[in-house]
Amino acid sequence: MLLGALSTGGSLPFWAVSNQWGIMPENSGAFAVVAERILFDESKTFQWREGVSLAANWQPVAPLDPGSSPLKGYIDEAYLGGRWKSLRLDAGIWHREPEFLGADPSLGSLSVTSGHLVEAGNACAMPGVQLTLEPWKIPFTKGHLLLEGAWGDFWTLDQRYVQGAMAHRVRAYLTFDSGGGFFIRAGLDHYALWGGVSPTLGPMPSTFGDYLRVCVGKGASSSGSRSDKVNVLGDHGGAEQLRLGWKGGGHAVTFQYEKPYADKSGMRFNNIPDGVYTLQWSRESKDCWVSDALLEFHYTMWQSGTLHESETDESGKIIPWHPGLNIFGGDNYFNNGEYRSGWTHFGRSIAGPLFFTGPDKNGVVNILNNRYKAIHAGLSGKLFRKAPYRLMLTASWDYGTYFQPYTGKSSWGSGWNWWEPETLDTPLFQFSAGLSGFVPFALGRCSLDVVYGLFADVGELLSRNFAATLGVRLIL
């Protein structure tokens, strides 16, 4: 695919670059990607897949940065995978499949988070190895209960505060399928950053024994920092998910609630009502003007409260948890005191793109905005029943963090009613819109698509900006 992008403000708007796996240029310029993929052969018992995707973008050199190169290349994907029954093993760099899709999968998800709050596809993928259990029918349940999940380990490649940090990933979901069109799914999507070299603490614990401690969420051994001994080894976080769906009569309705957590208080649901609430309606037939509609509400303001009590007594001894010891607020989603780059890769949030990144007061790039409210709408279908499109409309009220608000006074330390921060904090309002799609043309056995996009940002956080993209995509 070849694509040109032109913006009135130089930088491209939010929906032109978000959830593009970090390969779309941030400014006006040109973009190219070449990909080759071999999919699993469902007719075989042992199946293989492979894929390679190489990308490059060109951006004019800014006068203040004459030493930088206008041309940058990326290895977007390079992976090899094998499957046997419900087990799959992948190695390399690959994209996590988005959910809540519209009329055509190539246009991406209608959801801000792609259905995965922890890994929305907003940053460059990390290389790694992962064992996946695809939906597996649990014996003696008549196919009503299904288990799925993944266990993987990955490596960061960017310049970050703790250089060479590793990421351990675990996912697990249990689904009840009624067999009559209704299902309910609950699960966990967890990550842990560990290892690497800190500029202040030196080499972080990274032995096999330390890896086992990371896997079970245990504190560090004697070689770890005081924080890792008191809490758990590494930076742990993730999201808990509940999804309900119904399908029948050529239509489907899905509701999902996904709640982030940064520590045990969040996992114990102390941070409710925080989370992403998603509702999607879809038609089975996609050859219509409107085939999919999605409405989404985001709220991450509470973070288990505006106070945080010590977990140790004056001598440093850990206080055993009890119902009265529940004051663990300021969860600070996707940030960490020791792994200060947080849940980012190459300067972009790995989580949903509304978790805006940037340098903090110490110059370390991390998550600058993890307290926000947002309303989002997504719409998809085919213009004239032929040309797929995706419309994204997002309004957000962005507060920064408890400890570094964008503007005004922070509500940190104010009290225990979750609605109180609404009256104390001052947000920056932002509205972003994006219309993207393509017009397909058949060329024998090939397809040539004319790809287009119109994007806009209006608000107080991102600069007022309008952009257009135009390109071609050849599918052999």
Chain-centre distance for alpha carbon 402? 21
**Cis omega (within 30 of 0) for bond into 273:** yes
Q: Which DSSP category does 209 fall into?
A: H
Residue with tokens 């940058």: 72
Backbone angles phi, psi at 89, to 5 degrees: -125, 125
**Of 276, 285, 296, which is closest to residue 252 (Cα–Cα)?**
285
Instruction: Locate 472 and state its tokens.
Output: 């071609």
**Beta bridge partner(s), residue 72:** 57
Instruction: Locate 109 and state its tokens.
Output: 């998800």
User: pLDDT tens digits, the chain, 476 residues: what are they?
Assistant: 999 999 998 899 999 999 999 999 889 999 999 999 999 999 999 999 999 999 998 888 665 455 667 888 989 999 999 999 999 999 999 999 999 999 999 999 999 999 999 999 999 999 999 999 999 999 999 999 999 999 999 999 999 999 999 999 999 999 999 999 999 999 999 999 999 999 999 999 999 999 999 998 876 565 656 555 556 889 999 999 999 999 999 999 999 999 999 977 777 788 899 999 999 999 999 999 999 999 999 999 999 888 776 666 666 666 655 555 556 788 999 999 999 999 999 999 999 999 999 999 889 999 999 999 999 999 999 999 999 999 999 999 999 999 999 998 888 877 656 555 566 789 999 999 999 999 999 888 889 999 999 999 999 999 899 999 999 999 88
**Of 119, 83, 265, which is closest to residue 191 (Cα–Cα)?**
119
What is the C-alpha end-to-end distance of the chain, expressed in Å?
A: 12
Phi-psi region of 278 (alpha: psi -120 to 50; beta: other; left: phi over 0): beta
Cβ proximity of 25 and 59 under 8 Å: yes
Domain limits of the chain?
80-195+234-436
Instruction: Locate 265 and state its tokens.
Output: 């208080």
Instruction: Note the pTM of the prediction, 2 decimals.
Output: 0.92
